[in-house]
Amino acid sequence: MTDKYCLIGENVSRSPSPAMMNAAFDSVGLDAVYSCENVARQAFRETFARLRSQTSGMNVTIPYKSMVIPLLDGLDEVSSRIGAVNVIKKEEARLMGFNSDANGILVPLREHGKESLRRALLLGAGGAARAFCEAMNQTGCTEVTVAVREPSRGENFIKEMSEVFPGIAFSITDIALLRDAEFDLIFNATPIGTGEQRLPDSLKRVIYGRSTVFDAVYRPMKTELIRTAEARGCATILGYEMLLNQGTLAFEIWTGKAAPKDVMRKSLLHSLEAAS
């Protein structure tokens, strides 16, 4: 019987994940298929109950990474710590939650030689932002400034992350009020710089020098944030690298097999280039 896996989110119909994951399954000879399912918020519980009986595993993305937790039977250490799940595995009748986003951040940082970090700027306070805090804790980062459009909405986030990661000094600011400051790493976990959401001038003020700029957004491959960073001489990490590395860990969680990373990278890049 074919094992079924899927990505659930509010708007995932254009995701390149099926191309990447199906290529991986084919590469190792697994009888499995991966698809996407758009899930409206008001239908989330009903749809999730249906998928629970139909799938062997799921990926979870915006806006359900935290909302899904009460519907699961257990969590791994990372997802329990940060309160965000992006991988679900069926173990007999139980659904177990995992988080591979932190791996999606850590591996590219290591591959680019950016493991020694002290000060980081985090744009956003959602599920990917929670994984970023886990990654920063693992790198030994000691200061994280969280920049959001409405600081009042981010206060609970930094309060929670401060309790989980007491070794990191968290602060919060309005993106519009960013001032000249140098960060080792700037990480974007928002849609800023894509579509009609132009890069704020305040953000441009802190993109310079020896900063590494990492954009979680993978479409377009070179966002306005990445282009600005390149023009100013900063090292950059593209969003597809995070997607690839969270995908490899998801594959290994589901199958117990080593992920065919080169196959997955090739298929992912081909999908993104074809859609550009």
Flag whether pLDDT at 276 surpasses 80: no
Instruction: Render pLDDT for 109-162 as a digit per residue (tens, 0 to 9).
Output: 999 999 889 999 999 999 999 999 999 999 999 999 999 998 888 899 999 999
The band of 179, judged by pLDDT with boundaries at 50, 70 and 90, is confident
Q: Are 51 and 37 in contact (CB under 8 A)?
A: yes
For this structure, is 222 an active site residue?
no
Q: Hey, what amino acid is at 197? A: Q
DSSP assignment string, the chain: --EEEEEEESS-TT-SHHHHHHHHHHHTT--EEEEEEE--GGGHHHHHHHHHHH-SEEEE-TT-TTTTGGGSSEE-HHHHHHT---EEEEETTEEEEE--HHHHHHHHHHHTT----SEEEEE--SHHHHHHHHHHHHHT--EEEEEES-HHHHHHHHHHHHHH-TTSEEEEEEGGG--S---SEEEE-S-TTSTT-PPPHHHHTT--TT-EEEE---SSSS-HHHHHHHHTT-EEE-HHHHHHHHHHHHHHHHHSS---HHHHHHHHHHHHHHH-
Q: What is the CATH number of domain 3-99+241-275?
A: 3.40.50.10860
Span 102-237 CATH architecture: 3-Layer(aba) Sandwich (3.40)
pLDDT of residue 99: 98
Flag whether pLDDT at 193 surpasses 80: no
Mean model confidence pLDDT for the chain: 95
Specify the higher pLDDT residue, 195 or 91.
91
Q: Hey, what amino acid is at 225? A: L
Flag whether pLDDT at 264 surpasses 90: yes
Domain ranges of the chain: 3-99+241-275, 102-237
pLDDT of residue 211: 95
Q: Are 134 and 76 in contact (CB under 8 A)?
A: no
pLDDT of residue 186: 98
Residue from 65, 89, 159, 257 carrying the catalytic annotation: 65
Give residues with Cβ within 8 angstroms of 162, minimum separation 6: 168, 170
Flag whether pLDDT at 163 surpasses 90: yes
Q: Do domains 3-99+241-275 and 102-237 have the same CATH topology?
A: yes
Instruction: Render pLDDT for 201-259 as a digit per residue (tens, 0 to 9).
Output: 999 999 998 999 999 999 999 999 999 999 999 999 999 999 999 999 999 999 999 99
